[in-house]
Every structure is written in C-alpha cells, then in structure tokens.
C-alpha cells in the first residue's frame, strides 16, 4: 500500500492573547517538515516564554519562528485538534480512527493543551482519564524490555471505551470516590477523595487474573520540547538512588526502549518517565488513545483474541494512518509551545522561600539551562520517586515500580483551571486543588508534607499562592 500524501488543508487560526499576531494561511506537507529534527529545535533563537494568562495560555507559538516554521506549527496543530474518523472515509487526511479508541481528537485528553479533568458533572469518567492494563507480576522479559510492562492478553495495554461500528467497545470505566476527612495540627479541617476503579459491560470477557487497572490522566503539554533539551548529565546530577546524602529523597532515572532508535534511553515523559522523547510520547498516545498506526507503533491495538477488531483494521488504505510527516508536524507543534511566565513573582517571594525550606525543591528542581542556552524553570527533576502506598497503583513500567512516579513539571499549574475548565492534579486527577495534591504526598515526600501541615494557615496559603503563580 502506498503512503498517502496530504491534500491541501486550511490552517487553523492561531487564537489567544492580543500580543500575538495571528496568521491565516494554507499549508501543505512540504519538504520543510522533513527537515524538522530535534537538532533544529536546539539551534533556533526564539522567545519561548509568553505573558499570556488567558484560557489560550497553553496554545501559543514562540516568537521568532520563520514563516515556514509557523506553517509547520499550524499543520501540527491541525492534526492535534481536528477529529479523526474511521476508515475508509472521504476525509482521507484524517481517516483511520480505531478500530478501538477512547477519543477521536487529542484535545479530549488535553483540553486547551492543558491537564485533563477526571470526571464529568454526572460523575462519569471523562476521556481525559484512561485505564492502563497490565499484569501485576510480569514474567515476559522480552515484553518488559521493549514496552516496559506485560499487557492483558485479551484487552491489551489500555481499555478502549469506544469501537468502530462493527467493533464492540472493550468496556465502560467507572470511578467512585470515598471521602477521607482529616485536619491540620492547628485544627483546620480538610477532605480528600480516594478513588476506586472498575470496568462494567466488558466486551470480551474477563481480564486476566493478574491484570490491574492503572488510571492515567492527560498532562499539560507546555514546555515539552524544552524538557527534551535538558542534558542527560544535568538530570542525572540529581539522582541519589542509595540516598547517600541521607535526606530521605532518592530520585532515580527511568530508562525506556525508544522505538524510533531501537535503543534504550533516558525516560523523561509520562507519569512514570517511560517515554524518551516528545515524538515517542505522541506516537504512543496516538496508538493507544485513537488506534492510529504510525512508524513508531506500526501494529493496530487489537489483540489476537479480538477478531472483529483485526478484520476492521484491514479496511485501512495506507501503510500508516499517522505517517511520518504528520507525526513530525505534531511533534514540532508540541515541542514548540510557548511557556507562560510566572505571574507577578515579586508578590510571592516569601512563599517561594517557604517552598524551598520544606525541601520541596529537592524533587521539584527549579531551573535548568537547556542545550540551546535557554534557562527554564519547570520545577521538576524528571526522576522517579517513591510516593508512598496511598498513591501506589501496583503498575511497573521499565525501572519504575508500582509506587514510583516521575516528578511532574509544575510550570503553568496555576492556570490549569482557566485553560481546562476544571483543575485536577496527580496521576489520576484525584486532587481537586494543589493543597489536596500536597496532602496526598507520601513516601519520600512524607516529611515535606508533614512540615507543610505544621505551618500556620497564613504560611500555608503563601506556599499555595506561590505555586499558583508559577
């Protein structure tokens, strides 16, 4: 089968804050997309930081892009935002959805390029919150080396709540919350919500006996390209697996298999640092969430036990539903999203000092200088940390254990509600605000949490106000 070349697409208008000039242009997959490489991202001098703080704050392009680069940015944006349809379809540029899928556009998991929202108003799980499936005690060494875990033999790596018209959906995920009441040492009360997950209306029978459900919510997408440009040396400088300095914090790097280079590399992305590059994370999401085959994940997400799914997959007309040039364009778009600046930093210096005094910056490392010479402040070490039993879900990914999580970058965290409509935090969105997220911390962060709780109410608010500003 021949790979499809794009027909001409109308570009999407770049909407947002008034300080950015919009461009309405027509874009094709021209040769410049082929030249969009990681090295190109490093060499350009651009203004990657924006003053924008509206609901469009996470969709800005950096100032300094050439006209050709803006064309690629818009093209990648179009494939990220516009819905895909099942094949065969007259919409040849975006057919190939499924046969099993959760959403038909990336925006369902990342509204406004922001973090996902866990539940709808009726309490049902949104498409931002997914259930990953894996065996708690994996035994297949080859699978573990290549994908980091052992999937369910019938349902595969991720539960798909939708299917094309001839394909039965895999099931309906359900979340229920239990309220946990507590109080600070000063008597101030708080309520946390503890989730439990299940699946009803299973389309293909029972899960394997050892299969566990691991919820994952979509992350905010700003600054991904800059995280990719942090040197491995600078990341590993914060690793202290044996806790030789005795501070109780022992960050560790994850190393994952990169399907683009067929080699094991440092993991930087996803909740357990199991993706090595922006392209790797993008290709994996396209495959798992929308069923789109691509050069990094060429097989459909049907298992051998899902016969109708396999038959439906044969209706595809092209080698890849997301071919290399389109994947590169999305990679370029996501790698070049501007990063909102901290809002009024001079107002929150005391909160910043308190945050540091709590040893939070031992994991939430404030700043790095990238390979392109740009100083960034992601507030993350990109390493794995044991966060305690309360947040553990039992799922291992490559070197990450069931209780270990990558420190999530916190830049833009105070804009989550404005961008996404609601603000949820942690890997499954259980925390409804930043304060709840802190109170769920355990394991290596247990002492920092206790120290935060021991602060007086005014000081706690200063920490929270600082975090909302970054």
- Is the pTM higher than 0.85? The answer reads yes
Q: In sequence order, what are the beta bridge partners of 320?
A: none
Residues 282, 151: contact at Cβ < 8 Å?
Answer: no
Phi, psi of 30 (to 5 degrees): -95, 180
What per-residue confidence (pLDDT) applies to 45? 56
Phi, psi of 171 (to 5 degrees): 160, 175
Is pLDDT of 4 > 60? no
Mean pLDDT throughout 334-358? 97
| pLDDT tens profile 15-36 | 346 443 333 333 344 344 444 4
| pLDDT tens profile 245-291 | 999 999 999 999 999 999 999 999 999 999 999 999 999 999 999 99
Confidence of residue 77 (pLDDT cuts 50, 70, 90): very high
Residues 193, 178: contact at Cβ < 8 Å?
Answer: yes
Mean pLDDT throughout 149-163? 98
| pLDDT tens profile 295-336 | 999 999 999 999 999 999 988 778 899 999 999 999 999 999
251: which 2 tokens? 């960050």
Q: How far apart are CA 393 and CA 54, in angstroms?
A: 35
Q: How far apart are CA 430 and CA 437, in angstroms?
A: 8
What per-residue confidence (pLDDT) applies to 91? 74
What per-residue confidence (pLDDT) applies to 20? 39
Q: How far apart are CA 195 and CA 199, in angstroms?
A: 14
Mean pLDDT throughout 102-115? 96
Query: Who has greater pLDDT, 95 or 115?
Result: 115
């Amino acid at each position: 089968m021949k790979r499809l070349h794009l027909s001409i697409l109308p570009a999407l208008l770049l909407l947002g804050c008034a300080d950015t000039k919009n461009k309405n242009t027509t874009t094709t997959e021209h040769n410049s997309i082929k030249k969009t490489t990681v090295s190109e991202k490093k060499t350009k001098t651009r203004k990657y930081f924006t003053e924008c703080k509206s609901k469009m704050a996470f969709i800005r392009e950096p100032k300094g892009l050439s006209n050709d680069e803006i064309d690629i940015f818009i093209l990648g944006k179009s494939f990220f935002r516009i819905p895909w349809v099942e094949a065969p379809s007259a919409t040849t540029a975006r057919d190939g959805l499924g046969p099993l899928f959760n959403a038909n556009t990336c925006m369902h998991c990342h509204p406004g390029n922001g973090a996902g929202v866990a539940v709808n108003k009726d309490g049902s799980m949104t498409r931002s919150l997914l259930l990953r499936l894996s065996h708690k005690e994996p035994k297949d060494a080859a699978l573990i080396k290549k994908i980091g875990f052992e999937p369910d033999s019938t349902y595969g790596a991720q539960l798909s709540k939708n299917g094309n018209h001839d394909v039965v959906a895999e099931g309906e995920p359900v979340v229920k919350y239990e309220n946990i009441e507590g109080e600070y040492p000063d008597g101030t009360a708080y309520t946390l919500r503890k989730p439990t997950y299940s699946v009803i209306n299973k389309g293909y029978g029972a899960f394997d006996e050892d299969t566990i459900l691991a919820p994952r919510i979509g992350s905010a997408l700003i600054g991904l390209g800059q995280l990719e440009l942090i040197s491995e040396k600078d990341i590993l400088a914060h690793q202290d697996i044996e806790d030789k300095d005795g501070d109780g914090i022992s960050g560790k790097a994850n190393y994952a298999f990169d399907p683009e280079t067929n080699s094991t590399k440092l993991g930087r992305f996803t909740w357990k640092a199991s993706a090595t590059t922006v392209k790797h994370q993008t290709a994996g999401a396209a495959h798992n969430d929308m069923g789109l085959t691509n050069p990094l994940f060429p097989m459909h997400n049907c298992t051998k036990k899902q016969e109708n799914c396999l038959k439906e997959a044969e209706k595809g007309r092209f080698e890849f539903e997301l071919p290399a040039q389109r994947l590169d364009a999305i990679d370029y778009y996501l790698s070049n999203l501007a990063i909102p600046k901290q809002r009024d930093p001079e107002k929150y210096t005391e909160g910043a000092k308190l945050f540091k005094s709590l040893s939070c910056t031992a994991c939430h490392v404030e700043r790095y200088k990238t390979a392109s010479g740009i100083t960034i402040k992601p507030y993350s070490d990109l390493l794995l940390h044991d966060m305690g039993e309360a947040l553990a879900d039992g799922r291992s990914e490559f070197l990450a254990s069931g209780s270990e999580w990558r420190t999530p970058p916190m830049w833009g965290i105070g804009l989550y509600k404005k961008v996404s409509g609601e603000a949820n935090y942690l890997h499954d969105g259980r925390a409804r605000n930043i304060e709840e997220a802190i109170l769920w911390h355990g394991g290596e962060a247990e002492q920092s949490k206790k120290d935060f709780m021991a602060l007086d109410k005014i000081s706690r608010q200063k920490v929270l106000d600082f975090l909302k500003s970054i």
